[in-house]
A = this chain, B = another copy of it.
Amino acid sequence: MTRQRLYLFDTTLRDGQQTQGVQFSVAEKVQIARALDTLGVDYIEGGWPGANPTDSDFFAAPPETRATMTAFGMTRRVGRSAENDDVLAAVLNANTPAVCLVGKTHEFHVTTALGVTLDENREAIASSIRHLVAKGHEALFDAEHFFDGYRANPGYALSCLQAALEAGARWVVLCDTNGGTLPAEVGRITAEVVAAGIPGDRLGIHCHDDTGNGVANTLAAVEAGAQQVQGTLNGLGERCGNANLTTLIPTLLLKEPFASRFETGVTPEALAGLLKTSRMLDDILNRVPLRSAAYVGASAFAHKAGLHASAILKDPTTYEHIDPALVGNERVIPMSNQAGQSNLRARLEAAGLVIDPKDPRLGRIIEVVKDREDQGYAYDGAQASFELVARRELGLCPEFFEVKRYRVTVERRKNKYDRMISLSEAVVVVKIGERKMMSVSDSMDEAGGDRGPVNALAKALAKDLGPYQACIDDMKLVDFKVRITNGGTEAVTRVIIDSEDGQGRRWSTVGVSANIVDASFEALLDAIQWKLIRDIGSPVGSAP
Protein backbone atom coordinates (compact mmCIF):
# COMPACT_ATOMS: atom_id res chain seq x y z
CA MET A 1 0.00 0.00 0.00
CA THR A 2 1.41 3.41 -0.91
CA ARG A 3 1.70 5.72 2.01
CA GLN A 4 -0.26 8.96 2.05
CA ARG A 5 1.40 12.30 2.66
CA LEU A 6 0.61 13.80 6.06
CA TYR A 7 1.31 17.52 6.34
CA LEU A 8 2.57 19.19 9.53
CA PHE A 9 1.46 22.77 10.15
CA ASP A 10 3.23 24.53 13.02
CA THR A 11 1.63 27.54 14.72
CA THR A 12 4.10 28.04 17.60
CA LEU A 13 4.80 31.55 16.33
CA ARG A 14 1.10 32.48 16.08
CA ASP A 15 -1.20 30.48 18.39
CA GLY A 16 1.78 29.56 20.60
CA GLN A 17 2.33 33.25 21.22
CA GLN A 18 -1.14 33.42 22.81
CA THR A 19 0.32 31.57 25.83
CA GLN A 20 0.01 33.60 29.01
CA GLY A 21 3.38 35.26 29.65
CA VAL A 22 4.85 34.49 26.21
CA GLN A 23 6.02 37.29 23.94
CA PHE A 24 8.60 36.38 21.33
CA SER A 25 11.02 38.92 19.90
CA VAL A 26 11.60 39.03 16.15
CA ALA A 27 15.02 37.38 16.58
CA GLU A 28 13.45 34.59 18.62
CA LYS A 29 10.78 34.06 15.97
CA VAL A 30 13.48 33.72 13.34
CA GLN A 31 15.40 31.24 15.50
CA ILE A 32 12.29 29.13 16.10
CA ALA A 33 11.31 29.21 12.41
CA ARG A 34 14.76 27.91 11.47
CA ALA A 35 14.51 25.10 14.03
CA LEU A 36 11.06 24.14 12.73
CA ASP A 37 12.42 24.06 9.21
CA THR A 38 15.28 21.80 10.24
CA LEU A 39 12.76 19.54 11.97
CA GLY A 40 10.88 19.23 8.69
CA VAL A 41 7.40 20.70 9.20
CA ASP A 42 5.54 21.67 6.02
CA TYR A 43 4.01 24.99 7.08
CA ILE A 44 5.24 27.64 9.51
CA GLU A 45 2.56 30.08 10.60
CA GLY A 46 4.62 33.11 11.53
CA GLY A 47 2.02 35.40 13.08
CA TRP A 48 -0.68 37.91 12.16
CA PRO A 49 0.80 40.72 10.04
CA GLY A 50 -0.66 44.03 11.11
CA ALA A 51 -1.89 42.80 14.48
CA ASN A 52 1.24 43.81 16.39
CA PRO A 53 4.65 45.32 15.58
CA THR A 54 6.63 42.11 16.22
CA ASP A 55 4.61 40.08 13.73
CA SER A 56 4.80 42.81 11.12
CA ASP A 57 8.59 43.07 11.58
CA PHE A 58 8.99 39.30 11.34
CA PHE A 59 7.20 39.18 7.99
CA ALA A 60 9.13 42.19 6.73
CA ALA A 61 12.28 40.00 6.67
CA PRO A 62 11.28 36.38 7.17
CA PRO A 63 13.98 33.68 7.24
CA GLU A 64 14.36 31.55 4.14
CA THR A 65 12.72 28.21 4.76
CA ARG A 66 11.93 25.07 2.81
CA ALA A 67 8.62 25.02 4.76
CA THR A 68 5.81 27.17 3.38
CA MET A 69 5.78 30.43 5.32
CA THR A 70 2.19 31.30 6.24
CA ALA A 71 0.55 34.50 7.46
CA PHE A 72 -2.54 34.37 9.65
CA GLY A 73 -5.55 36.65 9.51
CA MET A 74 -9.31 36.63 9.51
CA THR A 75 -11.91 36.59 6.77
CA ARG A 76 -13.16 39.98 5.59
CA ARG A 77 -15.74 41.73 7.71
CA VAL A 78 -19.33 41.73 6.47
CA GLY A 79 -20.20 45.06 4.93
CA ARG A 80 -16.99 45.63 3.02
CA SER A 81 -15.39 43.85 0.09
CA ALA A 82 -12.32 41.64 0.47
CA GLU A 83 -10.40 44.21 -1.59
CA ASN A 84 -11.37 47.01 0.79
CA ASP A 85 -10.81 45.27 4.13
CA ASP A 86 -7.76 46.92 5.71
CA VAL A 87 -7.16 44.08 8.17
CA LEU A 88 -7.09 41.56 5.34
CA ALA A 89 -4.92 43.87 3.24
CA ALA A 90 -2.28 44.01 5.98
CA VAL A 91 -2.16 40.20 5.97
CA LEU A 92 -1.74 40.00 2.20
CA ASN A 93 0.92 42.70 2.27
CA ALA A 94 3.16 40.31 4.18
CA ASN A 95 3.45 38.58 0.82
CA THR A 96 3.82 35.04 2.14
CA PRO A 97 3.38 32.02 -0.13
CA ALA A 98 0.43 30.86 2.00
CA VAL A 99 -2.25 32.66 4.00
CA CYS A 100 -4.50 31.08 6.61
CA LEU A 101 -7.75 32.89 7.40
CA VAL A 102 -9.95 32.08 10.36
CA GLY A 103 -13.71 32.41 9.97
CA LYS A 104 -16.86 31.40 11.79
CA THR A 105 -18.79 28.20 11.09
CA HIS A 106 -20.93 28.05 14.26
CA GLU A 107 -24.34 29.64 13.73
CA PHE A 108 -24.47 30.93 17.33
CA HIS A 109 -21.22 32.87 16.84
CA VAL A 110 -22.30 34.18 13.45
CA THR A 111 -25.62 35.53 14.64
CA THR A 112 -24.67 36.46 18.24
CA ALA A 113 -21.01 37.49 18.20
CA LEU A 114 -20.88 38.89 14.64
CA GLY A 115 -24.54 39.83 14.37
CA VAL A 116 -24.77 38.97 10.66
CA THR A 117 -26.80 36.42 8.70
CA LEU A 118 -25.57 32.91 7.99
CA ASP A 119 -25.45 33.64 4.26
CA GLU A 120 -23.48 36.84 4.74
CA ASN A 121 -20.89 35.01 6.82
CA ARG A 122 -20.51 32.18 4.30
CA GLU A 123 -20.13 34.66 1.47
CA ALA A 124 -17.46 36.54 3.50
CA ILE A 125 -15.50 33.28 3.76
CA ALA A 126 -15.83 32.51 0.05
CA SER A 127 -14.93 35.97 -1.23
CA SER A 128 -11.96 36.28 1.16
CA ILE A 129 -10.54 32.98 -0.05
CA ARG A 130 -11.19 33.92 -3.69
CA HIS A 131 -9.32 37.16 -3.09
CA LEU A 132 -6.29 35.31 -1.65
CA VAL A 133 -6.18 32.87 -4.53
CA ALA A 134 -6.54 35.66 -7.10
CA LYS A 135 -3.52 37.35 -5.51
CA GLY A 136 -1.51 34.14 -5.98
CA HIS A 137 -1.44 32.82 -2.41
CA GLU A 138 -2.04 29.28 -1.29
CA ALA A 139 -5.19 29.61 0.84
CA LEU A 140 -6.08 27.84 4.09
CA PHE A 141 -9.37 28.26 5.94
CA ASP A 142 -9.43 27.75 9.75
CA ALA A 143 -13.04 26.81 10.58
CA GLU A 144 -13.40 28.32 14.07
CA HIS A 145 -15.56 26.43 16.61
CA PHE A 146 -16.17 23.80 13.95
CA PHE A 147 -17.04 20.91 16.27
CA ASP A 148 -19.39 22.97 18.46
CA GLY A 149 -20.86 24.44 15.27
CA TYR A 150 -21.34 21.04 13.67
CA ARG A 151 -23.18 19.78 16.76
CA ALA A 152 -25.52 22.78 16.59
CA ASN A 153 -26.08 22.89 12.83
CA PRO A 154 -24.11 20.35 10.80
CA GLY A 155 -25.51 21.50 7.47
CA TYR A 156 -24.38 25.08 7.94
CA ALA A 157 -20.94 24.17 9.30
CA LEU A 158 -20.34 21.86 6.32
CA SER A 159 -21.57 24.46 3.84
CA CYS A 160 -18.90 26.88 5.09
CA LEU A 161 -16.18 24.29 4.41
CA GLN A 162 -17.60 23.63 0.96
CA ALA A 163 -17.76 27.35 0.19
CA ALA A 164 -14.09 27.74 1.12
CA LEU A 165 -13.02 24.77 -1.00
CA GLU A 166 -15.06 25.94 -3.98
CA ALA A 167 -13.46 29.37 -3.64
CA GLY A 168 -10.07 27.68 -4.08
CA ALA A 169 -8.83 26.92 -0.57
CA ARG A 170 -6.04 24.33 -0.62
CA TRP A 171 -7.03 23.29 2.91
CA VAL A 172 -9.99 23.61 5.25
CA VAL A 173 -9.07 23.07 8.89
CA LEU A 174 -11.47 21.82 11.57
CA CYS A 175 -10.75 23.83 14.74
CA ASP A 176 -11.81 22.76 18.23
CA THR A 177 -11.39 26.36 19.34
CA ASN A 178 -12.62 26.01 22.94
CA GLY A 179 -10.85 22.69 23.36
CA GLY A 180 -13.83 20.98 24.97
CA THR A 181 -14.50 18.22 22.43
CA LEU A 182 -13.46 14.66 23.33
CA PRO A 183 -11.59 12.25 21.00
CA ALA A 184 -14.49 9.95 20.11
CA GLU A 185 -16.56 12.90 18.95
CA VAL A 186 -13.69 14.50 17.03
CA GLY A 187 -13.25 11.16 15.25
CA ARG A 188 -16.95 10.76 14.53
CA ILE A 189 -17.47 14.30 13.21
CA THR A 190 -14.29 14.23 11.10
CA ALA A 191 -15.44 10.95 9.54
CA GLU A 192 -18.82 12.51 8.78
CA VAL A 193 -17.11 15.51 7.17
CA VAL A 194 -15.10 13.19 4.93
CA ALA A 195 -18.24 11.17 4.14
CA ALA A 196 -19.97 14.44 3.18
CA GLY A 197 -17.43 14.88 0.41
CA ILE A 198 -14.63 16.99 1.92
CA PRO A 199 -11.49 15.19 0.70
CA GLY A 200 -9.02 14.09 3.40
CA ASP A 201 -6.07 15.48 1.45
CA ARG A 202 -7.61 18.96 1.77
CA LEU A 203 -8.68 18.54 5.41
CA GLY A 204 -6.74 19.73 8.48
CA ILE A 205 -7.22 19.43 12.24
CA HIS A 206 -6.49 22.07 14.92
CA CYS A 207 -7.00 21.04 18.55
CA HIS A 208 -6.45 22.45 22.02
CA ASP A 209 -5.62 20.73 25.28
CA ASP A 210 -8.41 21.93 27.59
CA THR A 211 -9.43 18.39 28.50
CA GLY A 212 -5.89 16.98 28.20
CA ASN A 213 -6.85 15.46 24.83
CA GLY A 214 -5.13 17.78 22.36
CA VAL A 215 -2.93 14.97 21.06
CA ALA A 216 -5.64 12.28 21.15
CA ASN A 217 -8.15 14.52 19.36
CA THR A 218 -5.62 15.14 16.61
CA LEU A 219 -4.88 11.42 16.23
CA ALA A 220 -8.62 10.67 16.10
CA ALA A 221 -9.08 13.16 13.26
CA VAL A 222 -6.10 11.74 11.34
CA GLU A 223 -7.49 8.21 11.72
CA ALA A 224 -10.79 9.55 10.37
CA GLY A 225 -9.08 10.99 7.30
CA ALA A 226 -7.60 14.45 7.97
CA GLN A 227 -4.17 14.83 6.36
CA GLN A 228 -2.98 18.08 7.84
CA VAL A 229 -2.04 18.34 11.52
CA GLN A 230 -1.79 21.72 13.24
CA GLY A 231 0.02 22.14 16.53
CA THR A 232 2.84 23.83 18.41
CA LEU A 233 6.22 22.89 19.84
CA ASN A 234 5.91 21.79 23.48
CA GLY A 235 2.13 22.36 23.22
CA LEU A 236 2.43 26.11 23.66
CA GLY A 237 -0.80 28.07 23.15
CA GLU A 238 -3.75 29.94 24.61
CA ARG A 239 -5.21 28.57 27.90
CA CYS A 240 -4.03 24.93 28.20
CA GLY A 241 -2.16 25.09 24.92
CA ASN A 242 -2.44 23.64 21.41
CA ALA A 243 -2.00 20.05 20.28
CA ASN A 244 1.62 19.26 21.10
CA LEU A 245 3.66 18.62 17.94
CA THR A 246 6.63 17.50 20.04
CA THR A 247 4.42 14.59 21.15
CA LEU A 248 2.52 14.10 17.91
CA ILE A 249 5.53 13.90 15.58
CA PRO A 250 7.16 10.82 17.17
CA THR A 251 3.76 9.15 17.56
CA LEU A 252 2.90 9.71 13.88
CA LEU A 253 6.33 8.55 12.73
CA LEU A 254 6.92 5.61 15.07
CA LYS A 255 3.52 4.18 16.00
CA GLU A 256 0.90 2.20 14.14
CA PRO A 257 -1.42 2.62 12.34
CA PHE A 258 0.20 5.95 11.44
CA ALA A 259 3.78 4.89 10.65
CA SER A 260 2.77 2.52 7.84
CA ARG A 261 -0.04 4.67 6.54
CA PHE A 262 1.65 8.06 6.24
CA GLU A 263 4.84 9.77 5.26
CA THR A 264 5.84 13.23 6.49
CA GLY A 265 8.67 15.66 5.85
CA VAL A 266 10.43 14.65 9.08
CA THR A 267 13.45 12.36 8.55
CA PRO A 268 14.72 9.91 11.20
CA GLU A 269 17.77 12.19 11.62
CA ALA A 270 15.54 15.20 12.25
CA LEU A 271 13.45 13.17 14.70
CA ALA A 272 16.62 12.43 16.68
CA GLY A 273 16.95 16.20 17.11
CA LEU A 274 13.47 16.53 18.62
CA LEU A 275 14.66 16.79 22.23
CA LYS A 276 17.13 19.53 21.31
CA THR A 277 14.41 21.50 19.48
CA SER A 278 12.12 21.20 22.49
CA ARG A 279 14.87 22.39 24.86
CA MET A 280 15.72 25.30 22.57
CA LEU A 281 12.17 26.61 22.89
CA ASP A 282 12.27 26.27 26.69
CA ASP A 283 15.58 28.10 26.67
CA ILE A 284 14.09 30.98 24.70
CA LEU A 285 11.13 31.12 27.08
CA ASN A 286 13.39 30.70 30.11
CA ARG A 287 11.22 27.79 31.24
CA VAL A 288 12.28 24.77 33.20
CA PRO A 289 11.67 21.86 30.78
CA LEU A 290 8.79 19.65 31.89
CA ARG A 291 10.43 16.49 33.26
CA SER A 292 7.38 14.35 32.56
CA ALA A 293 6.90 15.44 28.94
CA ALA A 294 6.12 12.54 26.60
CA TYR A 295 9.17 11.39 24.57
CA VAL A 296 11.41 14.39 25.37
CA GLY A 297 11.02 14.83 29.17
CA ALA A 298 14.08 14.19 31.35
CA SER A 299 11.98 11.58 33.20
CA ALA A 300 10.37 10.06 30.09
CA PHE A 301 12.72 7.09 30.24
CA ALA A 302 13.59 7.18 33.95
CA HIS A 303 12.94 3.88 35.69
CA LYS A 304 12.56 4.36 39.41
CA ALA A 305 10.76 1.16 40.44
CA GLY A 306 13.33 -1.48 41.40
CA LEU A 307 11.56 -4.27 39.49
CA HIS A 308 11.42 -2.17 36.33
CA ALA A 309 15.05 -1.16 36.61
CA SER A 310 16.29 -4.74 36.90
CA ALA A 311 14.18 -5.90 33.95
CA ILE A 312 15.40 -2.96 31.83
CA LEU A 313 18.95 -4.11 32.36
CA LYS A 314 18.04 -7.48 30.83
CA ASP A 315 15.97 -6.09 27.94
CA PRO A 316 15.01 -2.42 27.48
CA THR A 317 11.78 -3.31 25.65
CA THR A 318 10.37 -4.72 28.90
CA TYR A 319 9.58 -1.23 30.20
CA GLU A 320 10.24 1.15 27.30
CA HIS A 321 7.72 1.76 24.53
CA ILE A 322 10.35 3.12 22.13
CA ASP A 323 14.13 3.41 22.02
CA PRO A 324 14.79 6.81 23.64
CA ALA A 325 17.61 7.55 21.16
CA LEU A 326 15.05 7.83 18.34
CA VAL A 327 13.96 11.22 19.74
CA GLY A 328 17.38 12.18 21.12
CA ASN A 329 16.53 11.18 24.69
CA GLU A 330 18.26 8.70 27.02
CA ARG A 331 17.50 6.15 29.70
CA VAL A 332 17.86 7.16 33.38
CA ILE A 333 18.07 4.67 36.22
CA PRO A 334 17.79 6.80 39.34
CA MET A 335 18.66 5.68 42.84
CA SER A 336 15.95 5.85 45.44
CA ASN A 337 14.86 3.93 48.45
CA GLN A 338 12.65 1.80 46.22
CA ALA A 339 15.50 0.68 44.07
CA GLY A 340 17.03 -2.73 44.21
CA GLN A 341 20.64 -3.82 44.06
CA SER A 342 20.64 -4.24 40.27
CA ASN A 343 19.59 -0.64 39.92
CA LEU A 344 22.42 0.31 42.27
CA ARG A 345 25.00 -1.67 40.35
CA ALA A 346 23.94 -0.11 37.05
CA ARG A 347 24.38 3.32 38.54
CA LEU A 348 27.77 2.51 39.99
CA GLU A 349 28.86 1.11 36.65
CA ALA A 350 27.82 4.34 34.99
CA ALA A 351 30.29 6.03 37.35
CA GLY A 352 33.01 3.54 36.45
CA LEU A 353 32.68 1.48 39.64
CA VAL A 354 32.31 -2.21 38.85
CA ILE A 355 31.16 -4.16 41.91
CA ASP A 356 30.55 -7.87 42.25
CA PRO A 357 26.83 -8.64 42.76
CA LYS A 358 27.72 -10.60 45.90
CA ASP A 359 29.77 -7.79 47.45
CA PRO A 360 28.26 -7.11 50.92
CA ARG A 361 29.12 -3.42 50.55
CA LEU A 362 26.24 -3.09 48.07
CA GLY A 363 23.80 -3.71 50.91
CA ARG A 364 25.61 -1.20 53.09
CA ILE A 365 25.44 1.48 50.41
CA ILE A 366 21.68 0.96 50.10
CA GLU A 367 21.35 1.30 53.88
CA VAL A 368 23.32 4.54 53.93
CA VAL A 369 21.29 5.95 51.02
CA LYS A 370 17.98 5.03 52.68
CA ASP A 371 19.14 6.53 55.94
CA ARG A 372 20.16 9.78 54.27
CA GLU A 373 16.93 9.94 52.29
CA ASP A 374 15.12 9.76 55.62
CA GLN A 375 17.11 12.84 56.65
CA GLY A 376 15.88 14.69 53.55
CA TYR A 377 18.54 13.89 50.95
CA ALA A 378 17.31 13.04 47.46
CA TYR A 379 19.66 11.22 45.13
CA ASP A 380 17.36 10.88 42.10
CA GLY A 381 18.50 14.24 40.83
CA ALA A 382 21.98 14.23 42.36
CA GLN A 383 23.96 11.43 40.76
CA ALA A 384 27.33 12.95 41.70
CA SER A 385 26.52 13.03 45.43
CA PHE A 386 25.20 9.50 45.13
CA GLU A 387 28.49 8.41 43.63
CA LEU A 388 30.37 10.04 46.53
CA VAL A 389 28.20 8.23 49.10
CA ALA A 390 29.05 4.95 47.38
CA ARG A 391 32.73 5.80 47.09
CA ARG A 392 32.94 6.57 50.80
CA GLU A 393 31.44 3.15 51.60
CA LEU A 394 33.77 1.49 49.12
CA GLY A 395 36.84 3.29 50.45
CA LEU A 396 37.34 4.93 47.05
CA CYS A 397 36.91 8.56 48.09
CA PRO A 398 40.25 10.32 48.61
CA GLU A 399 40.21 13.32 50.97
CA PHE A 400 41.83 16.04 48.89
CA PHE A 401 41.21 18.79 51.42
CA GLU A 402 39.41 19.48 54.69
CA VAL A 403 37.30 22.52 55.53
CA LYS A 404 38.24 23.52 59.07
CA ARG A 405 35.68 26.28 59.43
CA TYR A 406 33.81 29.04 57.63
CA ARG A 407 31.92 32.18 58.54
CA VAL A 408 29.47 34.14 56.37
CA THR A 409 28.01 37.52 57.20
CA VAL A 410 24.93 39.03 55.58
CA GLU A 411 24.47 42.69 56.25
CA ARG A 412 21.77 45.14 55.23
CA ARG A 413 22.21 48.80 55.98
CA LYS A 414 22.15 52.27 54.46
CA ASN A 415 25.06 53.26 52.26
CA LYS A 416 26.55 56.74 52.21
CA TYR A 417 23.82 57.85 49.77
CA ASP A 418 21.19 56.82 52.33
CA ARG A 419 20.04 53.87 50.22
CA MET A 420 19.50 50.42 51.69
CA ILE A 421 22.05 47.95 50.34
CA SER A 422 22.92 44.41 51.28
CA LEU A 423 26.25 42.64 51.09
CA SER A 424 27.57 39.25 52.14
CA GLU A 425 31.09 38.25 53.02
CA ALA A 426 32.54 34.79 53.58
CA VAL A 427 35.74 33.49 55.19
CA VAL A 428 36.74 29.86 54.63
CA VAL A 429 39.64 27.99 56.23
CA VAL A 430 40.81 24.91 54.35
CA LYS A 431 43.56 22.43 55.25
CA ILE A 432 45.43 20.66 52.45
CA GLY A 433 47.98 18.22 53.77
CA GLU A 434 49.72 20.20 56.50
CA ARG A 435 48.94 23.56 54.92
CA LYS A 436 46.14 25.79 56.16
CA MET A 437 44.65 28.33 53.79
CA MET A 438 42.28 31.15 54.63
CA SER A 439 40.29 32.82 51.86
CA VAL A 440 37.74 35.60 51.85
CA SER A 441 35.22 36.85 49.31
CA ASP A 442 32.20 39.09 49.11
CA SER A 443 28.97 38.43 47.18
CA MET A 444 29.19 41.15 44.61
CA ASP A 445 28.61 40.39 40.92
CA GLU A 446 30.23 42.31 38.10
CA ALA A 447 27.44 44.89 38.12
CA GLY A 448 27.98 45.51 41.85
CA GLY A 449 24.80 43.62 42.86
CA ASP A 450 24.64 41.42 45.95
CA ARG A 451 24.28 37.74 45.00
CA GLY A 452 23.91 36.55 48.59
CA PRO A 453 25.75 34.43 51.15
CA VAL A 454 26.03 31.23 49.09
CA ASN A 455 27.68 33.13 46.28
CA ALA A 456 30.23 34.64 48.69
CA LEU A 457 30.93 31.23 50.19
CA ALA A 458 31.37 29.57 46.80
CA LYS A 459 33.77 32.25 45.67
CA ALA A 460 35.82 32.11 48.87
CA LEU A 461 36.08 28.33 48.67
CA ALA A 462 37.13 28.42 45.01
CA LYS A 463 39.69 31.16 45.58
CA ASP A 464 42.61 29.07 46.71
CA LEU A 465 42.62 25.30 46.77
CA GLY A 466 46.42 25.14 46.40
CA PRO A 467 47.48 22.22 44.19
CA TYR A 468 43.85 21.60 43.10
CA GLN A 469 43.14 25.14 42.02
CA ALA A 470 43.71 24.41 38.31
CA CYS A 471 41.09 21.64 38.40
CA ILE A 472 38.33 23.84 39.73
CA ASP A 473 39.07 26.97 37.72
CA ASP A 474 36.86 25.79 34.85
CA MET A 475 33.97 24.87 37.20
CA LYS A 476 30.77 26.87 37.02
CA LEU A 477 27.65 26.73 39.16
CA VAL A 478 24.82 26.62 36.60
CA ASP A 479 21.71 25.91 38.66
CA PHE A 480 20.68 26.05 42.30
CA LYS A 481 17.45 24.55 43.59
CA VAL A 482 16.06 24.87 47.09
CA ARG A 483 13.33 22.85 48.73
CA ILE A 484 12.00 22.89 52.23
CA THR A 485 11.37 19.26 53.08
CA ASN A 486 11.12 16.96 56.05
CA GLY A 487 14.15 15.38 57.60
CA GLY A 488 12.87 13.10 60.32
CA THR A 489 10.38 15.27 62.20
CA GLU A 490 11.87 18.69 61.51
CA ALA A 491 11.66 20.82 58.39
CA VAL A 492 15.04 21.01 56.70
CA THR A 493 16.35 22.68 53.58
CA ARG A 494 17.50 20.61 50.65
CA VAL A 495 19.77 22.30 48.13
CA ILE A 496 20.64 20.80 44.76
CA ILE A 497 23.45 22.38 42.79
CA ASP A 498 24.17 21.74 39.11
CA SER A 499 27.75 22.36 38.02
CA GLU A 500 29.49 22.39 34.67
CA ASP A 501 33.12 22.38 33.62
CA GLY A 502 35.16 23.37 30.58
CA GLN A 503 35.12 19.79 29.28
CA GLY A 504 31.32 19.89 28.94
CA ARG A 505 30.63 17.73 32.00
CA ARG A 506 27.50 18.53 33.97
CA TRP A 507 26.84 17.07 37.41
CA SER A 508 24.44 17.51 40.33
CA THR A 509 25.06 17.41 44.05
CA VAL A 510 22.85 17.69 47.12
CA GLY A 511 23.14 19.13 50.63
CA VAL A 512 20.67 19.02 53.52
CA SER A 513 20.49 21.07 56.70
CA ALA A 514 18.09 23.14 58.77
CA ASN A 515 20.51 25.93 57.89
CA ILE A 516 20.19 26.86 54.22
CA VAL A 517 23.72 28.24 53.99
CA ASP A 518 25.11 25.04 55.41
CA ALA A 519 23.02 22.87 53.07
CA SER A 520 24.36 24.87 50.13
CA PHE A 521 27.92 24.55 51.39
CA GLU A 522 27.59 20.78 51.61
CA ALA A 523 26.37 20.57 48.01
CA LEU A 524 29.24 22.83 46.92
CA LEU A 525 31.82 20.64 48.63
CA ASP A 526 30.41 17.54 46.95
CA ALA A 527 30.55 19.29 43.58
CA ILE A 528 34.26 20.08 44.03
CA GLN A 529 35.05 16.61 45.39
CA TRP A 530 33.42 14.95 42.36
CA LYS A 531 35.29 17.19 39.96
CA LEU A 532 38.66 16.48 41.64
CA ILE A 533 38.03 12.73 41.42
CA ARG A 534 37.31 13.10 37.69
CA ASP A 535 40.35 15.26 37.00
CA ILE A 536 42.94 13.83 39.38
CA GLY A 537 41.60 10.32 39.53
CA SER A 538 41.07 7.86 42.28
CA PRO A 539 41.29 4.12 42.60
CA VAL A 540 38.51 2.62 40.46
CA GLY A 541 37.13 -0.91 40.40
CA SER A 542 36.23 -3.50 42.96
CA ALA A 543 39.13 -2.75 45.30
CA PRO A 544 40.12 -2.37 48.04
Give the B-binding residues of A (Cβ under 8 A).
Answer: 17-21, 23, 25, 27-28, 51-54, 74, 109, 112-113, 177-180, 182-184, 209-217, 219-220, 223, 235, 238-241, 244, 247, 251, 255, 257, 286, 288, 290-295, 297-305, 307-308, 311, 314-315, 318-322, 332, 334, 336-338, 370, 373-374, 378, 380-381, 403-414, 422, 424, 443, 449-455, 479-486, 490-491, 493, 513-518, 521
Cα–Cα distance between A180 and B473 once the two chains are bound (Å): 45
Cα–Cα distance between A236 and B149 once the two chains are bound (Å): 35
A515 and B19 within 8 A (CB): no
A254 CB, nearest partner CB in chain B, Å: 9
A377 CB, nearest partner CB in chain B, Å: 10
Question: Given A20-B302, A304-B18, A336-B23, does the pair A210, B321 have CB atoms closer than 8 Å?
Answer: yes
A437 CB, nearest partner CB in chain B, Å: 16
B370 and A255 within 8 A (CB): no
B211 and A286 within 8 A (CB): no
A340 CB, nearest partner CB in chain B, Å: 10
Cα–Cα distance between A67 and B71 once the two chains are bound (Å): 54
B338 and A52 within 8 A (CB): yes
Q: Which 3 A-B pairs have the closest CB atoms?
A: A180-B321, A216-B216, A452-B515
Q: List 27 A-B contacts (CB under 8 A).
A: A18-B304, A20-B291, A23-B378, A52-B337, A52-B338, A52-B370, A112-B314, A113-B318, A183-B183, A183-B220, A213-B216, A235-B292, A239-B299, A240-B294, A240-B297, A288-B288, A407-B413, A409-B410, A410-B517, A410-B518, A412-B518, A422-B518, A450-B515, A452-B514, A453-B515, A454-B516, A480-B484
B410 and A405 within 8 A (CB): no
Question: Given A113-B311, A239-B299, A451-B514, does the pair A212, B247 have CB atoms closer than 8 Å?
Answer: yes
A391 CB, nearest partner CB in chain B, Å: 20
A526 CB, nearest partner CB in chain B, Å: 15
A286 and B219 within 8 A (CB): no
A25 and B486 within 8 A (CB): yes
How often does this chain occur in the complex, in copies?
2
Question: Given A320-B178, A380-B20, A513-B422, does the pair A184, B294 have CB atoms closer than 8 Å?
Answer: no
Cα–Cα distance between A217 and B338 once the two chains are bound (Å): 28
A413 and B405 within 8 A (CB): yes
Cα–Cα distance between A21 and B302 once the two chains are bound (Å): 11
B211 and A247 within 8 A (CB): yes
Cα–Cα distance between A241 and B307 once the two chains are bound (Å): 17
A182 and B23 within 8 A (CB): no
B23 and A299 within 8 A (CB): no
Name the residue of chain B whose CB is nearest to the CB of A310.
B113
Residues of B within 8 Å of A490, CB to CB, are: 449
Question: Given A25-B486, A238-B304, does the pair A292, B215 have CB atoms closer than 8 Å?
Answer: no
Cα–Cα distance between A405 and B419 once the two chains are bound (Å): 11
Given contacts A212-B251, A479-B484, 4 further A-B contacts (CB under 8 A): A20-B332, A20-B334, A28-B486, A235-B292
A255 and B182 within 8 A (CB): yes
A292 and B240 within 8 A (CB): yes
Residues of B within 8 Å of A315, CB to CB, are: 112-113
Question: Given A52-B337, A407-B410, A491-B480, does the pair A212, B311 have CB atoms closer than 8 Å?
Answer: no
